[in-house]
Structure 1
Amino acid sequence: MVFWKKNGKVESLLYSADRAKILSMVREMGSMASDAFSKAVRSLEERNDELAESVITDDDEIDDLEAAIDQECLSSIAMRQPVREDLRFVFAVLKIITDLERIGDQGVNIAKKAKVLNRYPLLKPLVDIPKMKVIATEMVSDSLKSFEENDSDLAESICLRDDELDILYENIFDELLEIIGNKPEGDQATAQCAAGLLWIARHLARIGDHATNVAERVYFMVKGERLKPLLEEKRKVLSEKKGG
């Protein structure tokens, strides 16, 4: 079923089957990327090196799926000669899968840090890192939902949630800095563990950044407008209200 310009009306040249297939592949890739960092944090919580190793070895599957989606999008462009709306969809997908691949990479980074940290006793109970994992998981899930449903309002709300991750990261940073400052002289294990936990928190914050990127791509795909200037204006208004 091919469509073309007829009687002044432009119809979509991107087959609905193509779009459905791409959506399904992106959904699968997003699920794999989210599972990767979730399992990586669990490997630290449960002191489970095998779980961490599975995240590292499974990363190739995420990379392979990214390549397959990339090829599917390029084939659709070449074969269908899509109109503007479809091009916006395809180009959004090409950028979204880059962020999903990087989310998977952050999961690998967390898993590698967890394997090192599992050799030592925990410096403190894990509280804020699991909270960051939950928020990051929700952000990734909602960003994919906004993509599937063309929901620009949901995409906007995701970007605002990124501030929650930043606050938790700052809390972790302050706590670990205090631990390092109070450690006995020559206690390298404490310093190494603190640095590892801080890196894990940083990786989770970066996952939030990538989920925000996905949401911004979705907003542009739906609205044809950039979301970042709108968010900056809203944050400015909120800041002025708090200051007043």
Structure 2
Amino acid sequence: MKPLDSLINEIKALLAEMTDKVTGMISDVIESLVERENEIAENVIKMDEDIDQLDNRIEELCFNALALYEPKAIDLRFIVTTLRIIVDLERIGDYCVDIAEEVIKLNQIPPIKPYIDLPKMANYSSEMVKEAINGFFAKDHKVALKVIKDDDFIDNLNNQILRELLTYIVEDFRKTKGCLSLIFISKNLERIADHATNIAEMVYFISKGENIRHKNYNEIGENGNE
């Protein structure tokens, strides 16, 4: 195996590990909300250090590959795209930490309502991240397009949660603090999905050679399936 191929395989393994840890943080932080377990939220906060270390290590390996082997074509696109993807994954980890800190505050007051839509939103967002990375490894533009379109579901769910929580505030002003915390959590989950979408757009670009940011995704879908 060529040295560059070996290095790329190491980068792929670390990128997969980073993805697993980030999506695990999403699952754990929502569990800490539903189960009202501060210890789980605190562990999520601690996990951010692991994410930062992986981010730094992957970045280091990518720069080494660029400096030592002057990769071309597919290898170059893989390395450059990886450097952009880890920025999104690191930000997702940061959002999980923000949610965890808010959950710890929220757990100090009585629950506002049963949590149904927020776990659904978290699970969907986590799957979007996994699918985007799998699409990257497989260079699958159809998977990327699915992730991009799934973002509409997250946006709609976030808007639904926002409307519901604002209604709770209007009906009982004493619930304002808790509702604002839940609105914050919902917005951060929506941002996580946005970062999954960013990754998917990059995957589409390296697979099809077309920049689809700010375009009509329904039209892109027709072209992408040709």
TM range, smaller chain: over 0.9
Give the Cα separation in 2 of the matches to 1:109 and 1:170: 20
Shift of 1:40: 0.7
Question: Which residue does the alignment assign to 2:33?
Answer: 44
RMSD of Structure 2 on Structure 1 (CA): 1.8
Tell me, yes or no, if the aligned pair for 2:149 and 2:217 is still in contact at 8 Å: no
Question: Which residue does the alignment assign to 1:8?
Answer: none
Give the Cα separation in 2 of the matches to 1:86 and 1:222: 13
Matches within 5 A, 1:164-243: 164-184=153-173, 187=174, 190-228=175-213, 230-232=215-217, 234=219
1:108 and 2:116 matched: no
Question: Which residue does the alignment assign to 2:116?
Answer: 127
Shift of 1:15: 2.1
Shift of 1:113: 0.7
Aligned length: 222
Per the alignment, in what secondary structure is the counterpart of residue 56 of structure 1? helix
Unaligned 5+ segments in structure 2 are none
1:111-169 Cα deviation digits (max 9, x unpaired):
01110111111111111101101110110110111011111110111000000001110
Q: Give TM-score scaled by structure 1 length.
A: 0.87
1:64-98 Cα deviation digits (max 9, x unpaired):
11000000000000111111322211110000000
Any runs of at least 4 consecutive aligned residues in structure 1 with deviations exceeding 4 A, and if so which?
none
Question: Which residue does the alignment assign to 2:81?
Answer: 92
Shift of 1:182: 1.1
Tell me, yes or no, if the aligned pair for 1:36 and 1:55 is still in contact at 8 Å: yes
Give the Cα separation in 1 of the matches to 2:140 and 2:167: 42
Unaligned 5+ segments in structure 1 are 3-13, 238-244
Shift of 1:233: 5.5
Which protein is bigger by CA-based radius of gyration?
1
Give the Cα separation in 1 of the matches to 2:94 and 2:217: 28
User: Which of 58, 61, 74 does residue 47 from structure 2 map onto?
Assistant: 58
Letter in 2 for 1:176: L
Give the Cα separation in 1 of the matches to 2:169 and 2:125: 27
Question: Which residue does the alignment assign to 1:74?
Answer: 63
Q: Give TM-score scaled by structure 2 length.
A: 0.93
* Percent identity between the two aligned chains: 37
Shift of 1:224: 1.9
Letter in 2 for 1:30: T
Matches within 5 A, 1:2-13: none
Shift of 1:234: 2.8
Give the Cα separation in 2 of the matches to 1:60 and 1:116: 21
1:83 and 2:72 matched: yes
